[in-house]
Amino acid sequence: MQVIEVVEPEGYLYATLNQRCRDIPKYEFFGPPDLCYLVKQSKGGLLSSSTLAGFFHYIYGVDSSSSASIAAYIKSIIQKQENNSKIKIMKATFCMYDIVMKRDVRVEISIPGGTHVFAVDENLNKLVIGSGEWNYVFMSSLLRSFEPKACPGFRVIQELSSQELFKDFLLVSNSLLPQVRFGELLDKAKQGSNLMIQKITEYLIRKKRIQDCLNFLLPLQEEDPLIVTHVSDVLLSVDKNKEAILLLAEKIREYPYLVPLLLKQAQSFIKSEYYEYAYKLSKICVDLCPESFEAWFQMAEVYFYMKKIKMSLIAMDIAPYYPDAEWVHRVELVNDYDFSIPRHKKTTDVHPYLLVEPTKVDFRKTGEEPVQLMNWVLRGEIPMPFMGDMNREDQDMLRQLMKVNSVKFTSCEKRCYDLLVKIEKEISWDTLFKIKQATFLGESENQQWENPFFKAQQSRCLLSSDLSGQKAGAGQYIKPAKKAQPVSRGGMDDSLLEIQAQAENFSKKQRKQMQQQQNHQIDTIAEEDRSDVEEAERITDMGLGMQPPQRKQKRKNNLEMATVEDKPGAGSYQSQQTGEDQNEEGQEDENPDGNGMMGQSARQGEDEKSESELLNEQTHENDLRKKRLCFKIDKLFTTLFEDLNLLCEWENDEKRRGSNDKSQSGVLWIHRGILAERLNRKRLAERAYRNGIEKGFSLFAWSRLLKIYADTYNPKACLVCMAEILDQAEDDGIQIYLKFPPWIEEVLHSLIASNGIKTIIRLVKEMELEDCKALTDAIENAYALRVEGSDQ
């Protein structure tokens, strides 16, 4: 058994162990993976002395139910590696991060010597482990093994490898639930307050051990009402929507204002297509918990299903986005990683890249050694894949694709972007962009606002770019011109002075407008309070002037104009009207006999024309006032705009070349597949990935094809993808699996649960896949684990 290890030079011995403790305050959620650290001594020769060096590897899935099981794993590693006569292992240390106590628990074996068990805090102080505290360590290690993450020199072995260990795991979980909370959450309204229950439920659902999951959750309902949300997740995963709705409704009667229950009930209604009920519940959740992203995003989803696109965009822009937080282990003193190369075929799972779902684009020619690929994945480097004979046009296209495919989103942004893609696919880009323009302010409209604090508000936007591009021709988008950047004249001080000056001018203008408005209201009210006698005498003196009802109606309109909310342009209108009224009254006094009727009629026509123009301006200003500042989704619109541009360039390129031309590089096709999959064009994504794997093997492309076929319920294609991946792994030297790749196993269990294990066995025989031993072993293991299927 070979283990890929990271080497520490002699001068940096134990540096990783010490740094692991100092980083304890930085760890969030489940912390770093377990670590096995070996101190090896190389035997000296005639002209060289012996040296010490540290070798370590990360490990997921070790049986950590007791210190004895940890010591057994360490001894198995020592026995395998001491077959080499040139090295001798002096000390071995196994480290496990305790989520509850926030400390690093270690099992240390000295040779010669004995076994020591202790804990270390962030200040490198040794602590004694009390009775019952080992259960915290056991559960912490298991929770990490449920979702392994790629890191330098890591191994993944089968967790909960026996039925007895699985029963112990459930017993420990039940005993720890009322005592502690495993992990903290950024959005408590989404997942409740106990992260341990959520992760265990997700793990059992992925394994399709539905009855085991229900047996674990149902006894806990009386202790915590939020357990019902996890039970409903189990029921929804097997399409028992009605049962989930009734179960949640009963608990909501007891706790009508518990937001997680209301959110889960709204999700159940969405899945059952009862959108009106989902809308009412989502609105209640937003009112009760406005700081929850989950509540706002669910409101946006409901609006989308109800065809209210404008409200959906507004909800996405209001939603508070949370930053993602993951543990980061900084090995600051280690400058280089030395990976062992497999020397013998068919040994073990020596290539750990297979055990974590691929996230990096890889591509290699047929027969190419996978060692370089493994280094790309483990070291986190940006790979330089094989380009092939690419012309300049294809190289430019690949650079653009790699740029848009490397855009980083938080989990909240990614979910909103996926919803935006659904909206675009439903109503087209042109309609979506028109709705966005009618809902949110653009830069050209922002200049009409006299708010002096607009610049400060605008700086809060994630990306304030105005997508002014329109469709042109068949499948082409015109990119917006780059906006000129303002020249800084004095740094931040000048900007603050400018804003302060604008604020003072704005305040003076507002005070002047309010004073004019009050004077105009007083004059108008005084005129309205005149007696009928005085009004009749004044009309007689005017000589057949405007009738009293017309005069009152005009003044009533003027009063309504004067009492609207203050806005840009309203003040000038009020002062103009006041001046006209004063001039008109003065001219009436100067012409007591009826000689001024023609002039008065002309003035009345001009007044009506002026009023219509001003009313149009006011309507436009009211439309602007209804619009909102766009703080968050500008970035999403910009990304979607660039993605659609590249999609159109791809389509135009195929029109020039012909749809049957597949001469382009495999890497280019894989990046096109990523783009199409992100835009929810699954047919295009499938075609691109298949064109890519025709040029050579790509684990990433095969994994995405497997995901696409699983989402479209195509069991035959899924089994073919699994067989191709496992056959290539066998060619790379993997035959004995300490743990079957969990991302492949999850799809296999899902196929068994939806089609039945007898159907899957029949399909394997029908397609002659029995020669893929790894696949047949996985099916037999699923049968032994009692994965629930439709024929059981």
Please tell me the distance from the alpha carbon of residue 688 to that of residue 685, in angstroms, as a whole number: 5
Q: What is the pLDDT, as a whole number, of residue 335?
A: 31
Mean pLDDT rounded to a whole number for the chain: 74
Q: What is the pLDDT, as a whole number, of residue 394?
A: 84
Q: Give the best-scoring range by mean pLDDT among 497-506, 532-541, 648-657.
A: 648-657
Q: What is the pLDDT, as a whole number, of residue 481?
A: 38
pLDDT of 371 over the 90 cut: no
Please give the residue that has the higher pLDDT: either 276 or 549: 276
- CA 337, 339, 345: angle at the middle one, nearest 5? 170
CATH superfamily of 187-318: Tetratricopeptide repeat domain (1.25.40.10)
Q: What is the pLDDT, as a whole number, of residue 126?
A: 93
pLDDT tens digits, residue range 234-259?
Answer: 999 989 999 999 999 999 999 898 88
In the structure, what pLDDT confidence band is assigned to residue 79 with cuts at 50, 70 and 90?
confident
pLDDT of 518 over the 80 cut: no
CA atoms within 13 A on the CB side of 662: 12
Q: What is the pLDDT, as a whole number, of residue 658?
A: 80
Q: Percent of the chain, pLDDT > 90?
A: 34
Q: What is the pLDDT, as a whole number, of residue 93?
A: 95
Element (H, E) at 87: strand 87-98
Record the pTM. Answer: 0.71
pLDDT tens digits, residue range 665-686?
Answer: 888 999 999 999 999 999 999 9
In the structure, what pLDDT confidence band is assigned to residue 389 with cuts at 50, 70 and 90?
low
pLDDT tens digits, residue range 743-765?
Answer: 999 999 999 988 888 999 999 99
Q: What is the pLDDT, as a whole number, of residue 43?
A: 76
Provide the CA 66 distance to its chain's centre, in angstroms. 37
Mean pLDDT confidence for 175-194:
51
Q: What is the pLDDT, as a whole number, of residue 613?
A: 63
Q: Is the peptide bond before 256 cis (omega within 30 degrees of 0)?
A: no
pLDDT tens digits, residue range 430-472?
Answer: 999 999 988 887 655 544 333 333 333 443 343 333 433 433 3
Q: What is the pLDDT, as a whole number, of residue 597?
A: 45
Asked which of 52-66, 224-238, 520-534, 563-577 is least confident by mean pLDDT, the reply is 563-577
Q: What is the pLDDT, as a whole number, of residue 276?
A: 95
Mean pLDDT confidence for 712-734:
89
Helix H segments across 343-428? 371-379, 392-404, 411-427
Mean pLDDT confidence for 532-536:
47
Q: Beta strand 126-127 with 103-110: parallel, antiparallel or unpaired?
A: unpaired
Residue 317's nearest CA partner among 721, 762, 772, 634 is 634
Please tell me the distance from the alpha carbon of residue 264 to that of residue 270, in angstroms, as a whole number: 10
pLDDT tens digits, residue range 100-144?
Answer: 888 999 999 988 778 999 999 999 999 999 878 899 999 999 999
Provide the 3-class DSSP secondary structure of residue 554.
Answer: helix
In the structure, what pLDDT confidence band is assigned to residue 343 with cuts at 50, 70 and 90?
very low
Please give the residue that has the higher pLDDT: either 344 or 657: 657
Locate the domains of the chain by residue range. Answer: 6-161, 187-318, 348-380+698-792, 500-586+608-626
Q: What is the pLDDT, as a whole number, of residue 572?
A: 33
Beta-carbon contacts of 358 under 8 Å, excluding residues fewer than 6 positions away, are 377, 699, 700, 703
